[in-house]
Chains A and B, each alone.
Chain A
Amino acid sequence: MKKTRKPKSITENGKKPAQFRLLPAVLLSALAVGLGYAVLSLPSQASGLSEPVAANLESSGVSNPVTAVLLNFRGYDTLLELGVLLLALLGVWSLGAAPKRRESSPGLVLEMLSRLLVPLLILVAGYLLWIGVHAPGGAFQAGSVLATAGVLSLLTGWRLDTRFSGLPLRITLVAGLGVFVVVGIVLIPMGGRLLAYPPSFAGALILLIEAAATLSIGITLAALFLGGRPETGGHS
């Protein structure tokens, strides 16, 4: 918390001088002790919300409690969180165009490996998405794997065709958030509440949302890796 002003002199290793390190160390040790004490004072037995989750798992449309919480019980959080992701991308894009990389040959091994790995990764992503309904997995995990595929391709010099880097790319990026919002809104006249899935097709809706989210997350993360706006075919 003492991060007020930085001293004029900074030591060679990028750290502040000793006298500026000692005080935080002492204070933070005290903080750690205090926090630790607080943590330890918690009751050793607590079920949290696991019971109501288990009780309502039936009507959530999925059988994996984490997915149920994530996309149904606390789906609103997840919706906003997709917003955060999109926002980060917007922020990065607003900083300017993607830095130009020196075009170097990725090397034979990498090239071969990427050709092998990318389809596999996409497949794994699909699987993770699918299994998320029942077991650990889901949109974020799947999206991350998808993003790996994208990053790998980018590292090997692949670039999105400028034909697709305009509106099509943007649509893909917002698909997750968009589908989520649209589903949530559409449900209002039907179920009466935002994001209140009717139990009968809750599962299907969740899968739909997750699928769109996976795509968006994957592409977004890959785009973030690029560190800036991609070149587009149309306007700047």
Chain B
Amino acid sequence: MSYVPDIHWGVMVIVLPLAGAVCCFLWPRRAVPLGLVTALGIVACVAGLGWQVVEQGAQRYAVGGWGAPLGIDLYADGLSLLMLMVAAVAGLGISVYSCGYFHRPDAKRDKAKHFWPLWMFLWAALNALFLSADIFNLYVTLELLGLAAVALVALAGGADALTGAMRYLLVSLLGSLFYLLGVALLYHGFGSVDITLLAERVEPSPVVWAAMGLMVTGLLLKTALFPLHFWLPSAHASAPAPVSALLSALVVKASFYILLRLWLEIFPFANAALAQLLGLLGAAAVLWGGFQALFQARLKMLIAYSTVAQLGYLFLAFPLANVIGWTGALYMLLSHAVAKTAMFMAAGNILYFGGHDRIVDLDRVVQRLPLTITAFALAGVSIMGLPPSGGFIAKWLLLEAAIRAAQWWWGGILILGGLLSAAWVFKVVGYAFTQSEVPHETRTVPASMEWTALVMAVVAILLGLFAPWPLALLEIGSPFGRENAG
């Protein structure tokens, strides 16, 4: 019994942003309303798909009607749905934020007309990626995603952004090629690019090890796991604020999602040593990113390094390899996405307002942006993993998983990482409480920007209070089913 019309919501979720991108490109002057309408439509479609999945269980959709080996399948289970929702929530926020951000009285006004189509393409790529059940199709979406992201980074202009974008592009292409070579080997080894079929056919063999190595390396490069994170801070920090937000919140997560899918479905036999290695790298990322963040001079750089650290958490689930661990990692992904969006938005507001984001000079700025600094602080609460916030739930789950798996040292890393983030969050928030009243040239921040940041931060907090819903979603289609023994 479904209350939702039986539409192919999954297809809509992909086609709608594509159409939106085309429309925004065709009519640049109407880009903002077109983009907003599309964003709302996407959210509605994701909700529809969510309802469908909740009511009817995991959905499989054969594009072109051909079915798995020959054609391409779309597949929506709890995991992909969760990712779509993350994208929808963060995406909606970013869309609203961008309206204010790009609507500047100065000369850079035409940025908006480039931003919207690129952003819609990126969203389409994300949605397509999360729904795809075909590793070659995943390659195409990955490229779509990468190019859109690079173009968006470059949108900021200036030497930093362009160099960052260039480095990002090279890394992205390199990662894709690694992945593609892996796909080629898998296809030629097992005659299919469909994940489900591959999962049935794949057995450990030199080809599979080689393919796994290539694909994992490529995806790690794109996910910026330590020590392959070198490209991330400059790219994320130099981009325009909404772009930074969506890069940190969504784009890096996409490649992590693919990695997770492959790991769970195609390479479940991956040996423990590799998992331990990933965990170790994750731990190193947590510590390294945390320390680097602490010593950054610029706010956006700081937040970018914190992304490096937070990505590390996601990899702590690999050595644990139990359902709670995976759930925790995904909840971390979810809450980090929302919180980091809020945080980059806040940083964007500060930059917009004061014209700089040097941390030592923040005191004159943040005092006059109470909403923004509140958003930053609330998001920081989630990033630190303090209750009540999504980050706390995630940490709790990971901690529980670590103890259950009798590998408590990962829990120690979690805690250390939390302390490091607390250190830098409060380093920034502390500036809100100074007394300096130095006059400063400022530009009024549109209310929509401040409020969006705040709303996103509040959502990050609320994720800690309504955790059972997303967690229940995750169980649909039991993506971690085969790991239950852990």
Contacts and interface: CB of A to CB of B under 8 A. Distances in A.
Interface of A: 1, 3-5, 34-35, 37-39, 41-43, 46-49, 52-53, 56, 72-77, 80-81, 83-84, 86-88, 90-91, 93-95, 167, 170-171, 173-174, 177-178, 181, 184-185, 188, 191-197, 235-236
B25 A174 contact: yes
Contact of A52 (B69, B128, B207): B69
Contact of B147 (A53, A88, A184): A88
Contact of B154 (A1, A43, A91): A91
Contact of B18 (A81, A181, A235): A181
Given A5-B230, A77-B137, A194 B191 contact: no
14 contacts: A37-B206, A37-B210, A41-B205, A46-B188, A46-B191, A52-B69, A77-B137, A80-B141, A83-B124, A84-B140, A87-B144, A90-B118, A171-B26, A194-B8
Interface string B195-221: 000000000011101110010010001
Identify the interface centre among B26, B61, B209: most chain A CB within 10 Å of its CB. B26
B412 interface: no
Given A83-B125, A91-B118, A193-B8, 18 more contacts: A35-B214, A39-B185, A41-B207, A74-B64, A83-B21, A84-B140, A84-B144, A87-B118, A87-B148, A90-B118, A95-B154, A173-B25, A177-B18, A185-B15, A188-B8, A193-B64, A193-B65, A196-B64
Contact of B140 (A75, A77, A91): A77
Contacts of B148: 87, 91
B308 to A, nearest CB: 14
A76 B140 CA distance: 10
Interface string B150-165: 1100110000000000
B151 A49 contact: no
B19 A181 contact: yes
Contacts, number: 154
A81 B136 CA distance: 12
Contacts of A48: 187-188, 191
Given A91-B150, A191-B65, A38 B210 contact: yes
B370 interface: no
Contact of B207 (A38, A73, A86, A90): A38
Nearest to B221: A1
B11 A194 contact: yes
B268 interface: no
Identify the interface centre among B65, B117, B206, B227: most chain A CB within 10 Å of its CB. B65
Given A42-B188, A46-B188, A76-B72, A90 B137 contact: no
B187 A4 contact: no
Nearest to A1: B217
Interface string B113-138: 01001100100110010000000110
Contacts of A43: 189
B110 interface: yes
Contacts of A193: 8, 61-65
A171 B26 CA distance: 7
Given A41-B205, A49-B192, A194-B15, A94 B118 contact: yes
A16 to B, nearest CB: 15
Contacts of A181: 15, 18-19, 22
A52 B70 contact: yes
B427 interface: no
Given A34-B210, A167-B26, A194 B63 contact: yes
B66 interface: yes
A35 B185 CA distance: 9
Identify the interface centre among A4, A73, A88: most chain B CB within 10 Å of its CB. A73
Given A38-B210, A39-B185, A181-B18, A94 B114 contact: yes
B71 interface: yes
B210 A87 contact: no
A184 B114 contact: no
A177 B140 contact: no
A184 B15 CA distance: 9
A74 B72 contact: yes
A208 B421 CA distance: 56
A4 B229 CA distance: 9
A203 to B, nearest CB: 15
B70 A73 contact: yes
